[in-house]
């Protein structure tokens, strides 16, 4: 098992890519300290494996993050998965959209890293994995302006942490999926009242003719968590089914 003996702390483990990744890392032998804002999702997840230790966390709650670092062991792997998608152009984004996107997608990720880094450094290092997307500085995507701006910031954060702490044994990489069928995407696709039509439109942008599933992204997270990626840092791993080809 590729993650035997490793301790992972992660956010947004309750659904989608986070849930699939938590399960995949647990299967590979890691002890996963899985957090989410949704307690019922965590209760269900905890049933899946004794390697999953679940606790409630709203990543935007600074006090909650401070409590978490005191209640879990120092991780070998920190997986920052939580994120929010604002749907719309710049002209459709108000202050609330900007504030929520930057608070959840960027500041909360930075706070998780700054909170766990000192102990990880004292422990001899570790792997930080940040959830980004190709809808960022990698690709211009319609109706994802504020989301893309915030995820572009995630890529900058990733490179900076990788550069600043490389001498401390810290690796920091980002995962950049394309379109992944997750509960929140289903919800967004249902908003117009015609899920089938929205699905067809989404599928058109997939050159493979297939939507990705959360389970298609999880192996990349396992790879970045494992020693297989020990010489990889500051990289953006694109898993987008050829969307940016
Ligand atoms: P999702 O949005 O379906 O679910 C994510 C989980 O995050 C839920 O369990 C939810 O309870 C939790 N969450 C929401 N707000 C939270 C908060 N404040 N604190 C803690 N947890 C919170 O999952 P997803 O679509 O797999 O998205 C996960 C990540 O992957 C996000 O960062 C997203 O931007 C990124 N991503 C998704 C896609 C996609 O197509 N689905 C593509 C690229 C990147």
pLDDT averaged over every residue in the chain:
97
The pLDDT value recorded for residue 191 is 87
Give 179's pLDDT tier (boundaries 50, 70, 90): very high
Give catalytic status of residue 147 as yes or no.
yes
The pLDDT value recorded for residue 205 is 86
Which tokens belong to 79?
């997986």
- In terms of pTM, does the model score above 0.95? yes
Any atom of ligand 1 within 6 Å of the Cβ of 36: yes
Give 192's pLDDT tier (boundaries 50, 70, 90): confident
The pLDDT value recorded for residue 216 is 98
Mean pLDDT of 61-78: 98
Among 136, 184, 206, 220, residue to substitute to test ligand 1 (most atoms within 8 Å of Cβ) = 184
Give 126's pLDDT tier (boundaries 50, 70, 90): very high
Residue 176 predicted with pLDDT over 90: yes
The pLDDT value recorded for residue 144 is 97
CA distance 184 to 160: 29
Catalytic residue among 84, 147, 199, 223: 147
pLDDT in tens, 16-29: 999 999 999 999 99
Up-side HSE of residue 202: CA atoms within 13 Å toward CB?
19
Cβ neighbours of residue 200 closer than 8 Å, sequence gap 6 or more: none
* Secondary structure (DSSP) of 37-80: S-HHHHHHHHTT-TTEEEEE--TT-HHHHHHHHHHSPPPSEEEE
Mean pLDDT of 95-122: 98
Any atom of ligand 1 within 6 Å of the Cβ of 16: yes
Any atom of ligand 1 within 6 Å of the Cβ of 177: yes
Any atom of ligand 1 within 6 Å of the Cβ of 133: yes
How far is the centre of ligand 1, averaged over its atoms, from the C-alpha of 170 (Å)?
24
Residue 182 predicted with pLDDT over 90: yes
How far is the centre of ligand 1, averaged over its atoms, from the C-alpha of 84 (Å)?
6
CA distance 172 to 162: 5
Mean pLDDT of 61-86: 98
| Pairing of β 52-56 and β 77-80 | unpaired
The pLDDT value recorded for residue 127 is 99
Cα Rg of the chain, angstroms: 17
């Amino acid at each position: 098992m590729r993650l035997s003996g490793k301790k992972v702390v992660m956010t947004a483990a309750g659904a989608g890519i986070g849930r699939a990744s938590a399960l995949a890392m647990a299967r590979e032998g890691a002890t996963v300290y899985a957090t989410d804002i949704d307690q019922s999702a965590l209760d269900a997840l905890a049933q899946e494996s004794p390697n999953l230790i679940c606790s409630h966390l709203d990543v935007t709650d600074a006090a909650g993050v401070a409590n978490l670092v005191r209640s879990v062991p120092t991780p070998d792997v920190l997986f920052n998965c939580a994120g929010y998608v604002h749907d719309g152009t710049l002209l459709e984004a108000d202050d609330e959209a900007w504030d929520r996107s930057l608070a959840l997608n960027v500041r909360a990720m930075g706070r998780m890293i700054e909170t766990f880094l000192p102990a990880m450094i004292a422990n001899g290092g570790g792997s930080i994995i940040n959830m980004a997307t190709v809808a960022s500085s990698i690709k211009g995507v319609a109706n994802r302006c504020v989301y893309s701006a915030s995820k572009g910031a995630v890529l900058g954060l990733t490179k900076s942490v990788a550069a600043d702490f490389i001498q401390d044994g810290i690796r920091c990489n980002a995962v950049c999926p394309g379109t992944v069928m997750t509960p929140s995407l289903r919800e967004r696709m249902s908003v117009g009242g015609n899920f089938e039509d929205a699905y067809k439109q989404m599928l058109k942008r997939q050159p493979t003719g297939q939507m990705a599933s959360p389970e298609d992204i999880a192996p990349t997270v396992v790879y970045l968590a494992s020693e297989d990626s020990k010489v990889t840092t500051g990289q953006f791993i694109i898993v987008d089914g050829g969307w940016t080809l």
